[in-house]
Amino acid sequence: MDRLDRVLIVGAGFAGYRAARVLTRVARRAAEVTLLNPTDYFLYLPLLPQVAAGTLEPRRVTVSLSGTLPRARLVLGEADGVDLDRRTVSYTDPEGGRGTLAYDRLVLAVGSVNKLLPVPGVAEHAHGFRGMPEALYLRDHVTRQIELAAAAPDAEACRARCTFVVVGGGYTGTEVAAQGVLLTDALVRKRPLPHGVRPRWILLDIAPRLLPELDEHLSRTAGRVLRERGVEVRTETSVKEATADGVLLDDGRFVGTRTLVWCVGVRPDPLVAGLGRPLEHGRLLVDPYLTVPGHPEVFACGDAAAVPDLARPGEYTPMTAQHAWRQGRTAGINVAASLGRGQRHAYRHKDLGFTVDLGGAAAAANPFGVPLSGPLAAAVTRGYHLAALPGNRVRVAADWLLDAVLPRQAVQLGLVRSWSVPLDTASPELARMPDAPAESPPHAPSSNPPDGGAP
């Protein structure tokens, strides 16, 4: 019996998961599909802020890879090298073992990691928001700060623990601040803090408005909702330095806080930089068919790929979940075509609009260019997420219903510590272990802060 072509997909985010789903359906008799990923689940990132805010339980936004991709072979591991000449990918498994996978077709969908800026103290005192460990840490951390504030010896200490600073007014930062203020308000509703202190949320961005990459309707709606909830939105403002006691802003003001959430954007996974192929701002250059020039057997899609935007000649598609999801489908179709199943297609897209979930009955949306806000936008936004989720729809809807009628559980489990979710990591989906190399020691202060992202 002839050997099936080996298709290796590296990464199971929006692009990788969609590519695997398409391939296992279209080319299941022509290819053996292997999926290499550090975790056994696909993470629906747009709903991660609701996990941090206690609206959704963690497993609601994770979709089992083996359960939903039964025809794909799952290999747990983190890719750390690609040999284009030998057509192999090396990886490290969850227990530190080394392995190598050979391929006939390769789909690189490794995604992105937290974007770093050379701001003193940020790497030590901030946390990102790209993976489940960071969301779980933030949920515990915010709860812990409120509890410690209730026992603080004076108003200044209480105020610092109840001040939460979010840097970055894009999708993630806006949604983290919007969901976070609802969480802290719920935590203090039945047990007011001493000294007359109220939780304080500050959202910073160097742009002149929130959500600068989206249209002004979404920006205005989000800004209005946040300000009505008491969030201090400070545009054209950034962090000059971060310390264990607070942040120094570029206007000279110092804000006492124990929480710094870093949501300034993302950068391509550093794996693609080691391929020795042309890059565009750290992203692997591909043609409109998502193949790497000079290597027709290698495809790339998602945040780590610089895909030509055929709707805007000379530009590349932005790093969004919406593009990654669609590119994954195109990659799957084109890989199948290279195996003799169907015809290949260039990646083209048409904007369907965007949604920003602001928690409760508030949201901003512009489906097909129609501006919406309030409860209608919230219904459209949640309907979109339920439609886009590849699983767990009933459980997510049930959690939303329960959140609307029951109080949130104000407990911290303490399972994810500050030192296990460093900002500077190439694997935000994995919590660092105490014996991992290049890691902060377990005795690092647990009062260090957190961070946050959408499609």
Q: What is the pLDDT of residue 432?
A: 87
Q: What is the pLDDT of residue 447?
A: 34
Checking if the pLDDT of 269 tops 90, the result is yes
Checking if the pLDDT of 444 tops 50, the result is no
Checking if the pLDDT of 65 tops 90, the result is yes
Q: What is the pLDDT of residue 436?
A: 53
What is the rounded distance in angstroms from the CA atom of residue 392 to the CA atom of residue 66? 14
Residue range 121-133: average pLDDT?
A: 95
Checking if the pLDDT of 176 tops 60, the result is yes
Residue range 389-410: average pLDDT?
A: 94
Q: What is the pLDDT of residue 30?
A: 86
- Cα–Cα distances in angstroms (integers) from residue 167 to residues 78, 104, 105, 126, 261, in the given order: 29, 43, 40, 10, 6
Q: How many Cβ atoms sit within 10 Å of the Cβ of residue 76?
A: 16
Phi, psi at residue 32, to the nearest 5°?
-105, 110
Checking if the pLDDT of 443 tops 80, the result is no
Checking if the pLDDT of 205 tops 60, the result is yes
Give percent above pLDDT 70 in the chain: 95
Query: What is the full DSSP assignment across 79-119?
Result: EEEEETTTTEEEEE-TTS-EEEEE-SEEEE---EEE-----
**Closest of 327, 322, 326, 325 to residue 305, by C-alpha:** 327
Neighbour-count burial of 208, counting CB atoms closer than 10 A to its CB (0-12 exposed, 13-18 middle, 19+ buried): exposed
**Closest of 266, 307, 265, 328 to residue 109, by C-alpha:** 328
What is the rounded distance in angstroms from the CA atom of residue 203 to the CA atom of residue 321? 23
pLDDT confidence bin for 439, thresholds 50/70/90: very low
pLDDT confidence bin for 440, thresholds 50/70/90: very low
Q: What is the pLDDT of residue 353?
A: 87
E strand or H helix at 235? strand 232-235
| pLDDT per position as a tens digit, 139-172 | 999 999 999 999 999 999 999 999 999 999 999 9
- HEC string of 128-159 equals CCCCHHHHHHHHHHHHHHHHHHHCCCCHHHHH
Checking if the pLDDT of 311 tops 50, the result is yes
